Amino acid sequence: MAKAPTSEARDRVRNTVPKLIEATEKVLFGDIWERPELSKRDRSLITCAVLVATYRPEQLKGHLGRALHNGVTQEELSELITHVAFYAGWPAAMSAANIAKGVFEENK
């Protein structure tokens, strides 16, 4: 089982919700993200779409970066945000676009 890299967001609350962080690292990133039925690239696309649709900006930033690392292109993420706008709402997509802009600039 792969060990998930720590993140600033998880580290910030690790002492507050240690079991949640343990489950996140062992189950979500250590098991679910490692299952062979979907590629990490596909999992990144799904996760980003859900985070845009449910307006989860704090998690979206990290997952956009992870998506780029997993082989999703900036153009594909841009198209994902545009597509989701018509199903989940314009405001959520516009917020996601601003987050994506920052992530893209950080990953140049």
Instruction: Answer yes or no: do 33 and 44 share one domain.
Output: no
69-99 per-position pLDDT tens digit: 999 999 999 999 999 999 999 999 999 999 9
Judge whether residue 18 has pLDDT over 90: yes
Instruction: Answer yes or no: do 32 and 43 share one domain.
Output: no
What is d(CA 38, CA 41) in angstroms, rounded to the nearest whole number?
A: 8
Give the range of the structural domain holding residue 83, as residue numbers without chain letter. 39-108
Are the C-beta atoms of residues 93 and 85 closer than 8 Å to each other? yes
Domain count, the chain: 2
Predicted local confidence at residue 33, as pLDDT: 96
Predicted local confidence at residue 5, as pLDDT: 55
Average pLDDT, rounded, for the chain: 93
Instruction: Answer yes or no: do 65 and 108 share one domain.
Output: yes
Instruction: Answer yes or no: do 59 and 106 share one domain.
Output: yes
Instruction: Answer yes or no: do 89 and 53 share one domain.
Output: yes
Predicted local confidence at residue 98, as pLDDT: 97
Instruction: Answer yes or no: do 45 and 80 share one domain.
Output: yes
